[in-house]
Structure 1
């Protein structure tokens, strides 16, 4: 019974991450997964995130000092962090044209880049929600 429960937990957590509009923090994964698994504990979420990361199915993203998780294989993309509701969204277009190998002023050679935009998501912008 334990192995089946464990597999169901992994499946639910993987689905939660796959269905999310952007990378999720542990607390968000736990809250969303509990809709299917009400008894799910935070330790199980941490163990499952570690396992899925080791398997290469997901990877951690650090935004504002907080580790979030998203599915692997999304290719080059960036994030938008809503200053009102706190949700993080995946942006599918790159706002920066800075290809690998570009020599940045001062002799810095670009290998990759990450961009996080901050502002209000469409819902918060429409409702006029204030920044946190």
Structure 2
């Protein structure tokens, strides 16, 4: 287990406060408001550590670099703003997709990503 530092605490706080999947650059920008000397290498190292210990999970979107969110959330999907690039969580799930599978196939998981403009970019 990694030791607790101001930088690590700031990164955890930012992830909890913003409560959406964040890129390392977004984490860095927000966490620098708390720890101005924070560097991108520390962000990457901390995110890797949080994932390894199970405190955070990687969010993979097609054609995008990984983003990170805190773990322990219910199954959910994501909305990707095509204008600002931010990713947001969507609560819930439309249900079972097994009816779409060919005979004999078995799905282990699924991911749905909706694309469009967030409220800030829709104005």
Q: Normalized against structure 2, the TM-score is what?
A: 0.88
* Counterpart Cα distance in 2 of 1:93 and 1:55: 25
The answer as to whether partners of 1:24 and 1:68 remain within 8 angstroms in 2 is: yes
RMSD: 1.6
Written as runs of structure 1 = structure 2, the 5 A alignment for 1:91-106 is 91-94=90-93, 96-98=94-96, 102=98, 104-106=101-103
- Unpaired runs of 5+ residues, structure 2, are none
Structure 1's consecutive aligned runs of 4 or more residues displaced over 2 angstroms after TM superposition are 105-108
Written as runs of structure 1 = structure 2, the 5 A alignment for 1:22-101 is 22-63=20-61, 64-94=63-93, 96-98=94-96
Per-residue deviation, 1:58: 0.3
- Unpaired runs of 5+ residues, structure 1, are 128-132
* Counterpart Cα distance in 2 of 1:42 and 1:18: 19
When Rg is computed on C-alpha atoms for both structures, the one with the higher figure is 1
Match of 1:113 in 2: 110
Other structure's SS at 2:80 match = strand
Per-residue deviation, 1:21: 3.8
Q: How many residues align?
A: 119
